């Protein structure tokens, strides 16, 4: 799927503002180095590949060791392999670069939306964030803490718009979003372990996307690339992957 120019403009504008980079630069090949105090003494390096540009958040100590400066722009995009080469050549002591994770950011162009149209085994309905907190808490308790954290679902602070499936009076699927910058709807889904594989998360995400598009929000779906089941949802609904992230750690 290829996003329209309007969607690409919105996405580039957000990432440009986030990293204080002119959005037009994201269409140009290169890497922007961004030492981050939040990463100091952690060895963390996060590389966001947006358009043709790599935005590199890294431990300031690594930048100092490699004689890199904040805002420095490299001529080419950078990847894990490139970072390993730079580290080996630039550091006076032995260092190892390991992969902590890889993720993708998907965005939905209205022209590419492919709604889920299969007959659902359960009835999907809108969930009241205030009145149904007990149902949300019950679903969260049925899943592992890691699954709940990955979905970024909080029973005490539910998302503003939620769709879900009920079975025997219990919530067994959840699809909700939180708004980024008033224009992006960051979607999170969670399904009861015993009800997975039935398309409930896909159905909920589809209904949520329709609601977002009707209300002039851009659906956005973030996913850990290791989560194959979650990765299939944006693909099935017509999302376009527009940002890749490599989460690395330099062990010095």
pTM (global) more than 0.85: yes
In 65-154, beta strands by DSSP E? 73-74, 96-107, 124-127
Alpha-carbon gap, residue 16 to 24, rounded angstroms: 8
Region of 168 please: left (phi>0), alpha (psi -120 to 50) or beta.
left
Number of domains in the chain: 2
Say how far residue 245 (Cα) sits from the centre of its chain.
9
189 and 178 share a domain?
Answer: yes
pLDDT at 103: 96
- Is residue 236 within 8 A of residue 118, CB to CB? The reply is no
Asked if 100 and 112 sit in the same domain, the reply is no
In this prediction, residues 50-61 reach a mean pLDDT of: 93
Q: 6: which 2 tokens? A: 């309007």
> Do 80 and 151 share a structural domain?
no
CATH of the domain at 171: 3.40.630.30
Q: How many residues does the chain have?
A: 252
Are residues 15 and 112 both part of a single domain?
Answer: no
Mark whether 176 and 65 lie in a shared domain: no
Question: Does 215 score more than 80 pLDDT?
Answer: yes
Q: Distance between the two ends of the chain, CA-based, in angstroms?
A: 41
Average pLDDT over residues 43-57: 93
Residue 72: pLDDT band (50, 70, 90) is confident
Answer yes or no: is pLDDT of 73 > 90. Answer: no
Q: Do 148 and 166 share a domain, yes or no?
A: yes
pLDDT, position 170: 95
Cβ neighbours of residue 14 closer than 8 Å, sequence gap 6 or more? 180, 181, 183, 184
Confidence (pLDDT) at 69: 80
Q: What's the mean pLDDT in 116-123? A: 87
User: Are residues 215 and 101 part of one domain?
Assistant: no
Q: Is the pLDDT of residue 20 over 70?
A: yes
What distance in Å separates the CA atoms of residue 55 and residue 25, rounded to the nearest whole number? 11
Q: Are residues 230 and 113 in the same domain?
A: yes
More confident residue, 194 or 117: 194
Backbone conformation region of residue 183, classed left if phi is above 0, alpha if psi is from -120 to 50, else beta: alpha
> Residue 184: what pLDDT?
97
Give the residue among 237, 232, 5, 210 at the shortest CA–CA distance from 112: 237
Q: How confident is the model at residue 90 (pLDDT cuts 50, 70, 90)?
A: low
Say whether both 174 and 83 belong to one domain.
Answer: no
Residues 6+ apart with CB under 8 A from 246: 46, 47, 49, 79, 80, 99, 102
Q: Which residue shows structure tokens 């009920």?
A: 166
Domain carrying residue 12: 5-106+245-251
Are residues 124 and 50 part of one domain?
no
Domain identity same for 91 and 123: no
Chain CA centroid to CA 160, Å: 18
Residues 33 and 150 in one domain: no
pLDDT band with cut points at 50, 70 and 90 for residue 1: low
């Amino acid at each position: 799927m290829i996003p329209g120019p309007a969607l690409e403009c919105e996405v580039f504008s957000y990432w440009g503002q986030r990293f204080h980079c002119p959005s037009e630069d994201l269409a140009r090949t290169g890497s922007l180095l961004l030492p981050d105090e939040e990463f100091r003494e952690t060895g963390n390096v996060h590389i966001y590949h947006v358009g043709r540009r790599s935005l590199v958040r890294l431990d300031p100590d690594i930048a100092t060791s490699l004689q890199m400066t904040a805002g420095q722009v490299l001529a080419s995009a950078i990847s894990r392999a490139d970072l390993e080469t730079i580290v080996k050549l630039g550091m006076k002591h032995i260092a190892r670069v390991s992969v902590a994770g890889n993720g993708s950011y998907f965005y939905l162009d209205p022209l590419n939306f492919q709604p889920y149209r299969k007959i659902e085994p359960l009835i999907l309905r809108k969930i009241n964030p205030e009145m149904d907190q007990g149902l949300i808490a019950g679903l969260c308790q049925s899943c592992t803490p890691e699954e709940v954290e990955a979905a970024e679902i909080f029973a005490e602070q539910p998302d503003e718009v939620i769709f879900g499936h009920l079975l025997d009076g219990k919530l067994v699927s959840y699809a909700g979003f939180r708004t980024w910058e008033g224009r992006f709807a960051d979607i999170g889904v969670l399904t009861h372990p015993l009800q997975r594989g039935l398309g409930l998360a896909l159905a909920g995400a589809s209904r949520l996307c329709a609601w977002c598009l009707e209300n002039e929000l851009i659906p956005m779906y973030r996913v850990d690339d290791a989560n194959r089941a979650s990765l299939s949802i944006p693909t099935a609904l017509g999302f376009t992957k527009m940002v890749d992230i490599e989460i690395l750690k330099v062990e010095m």
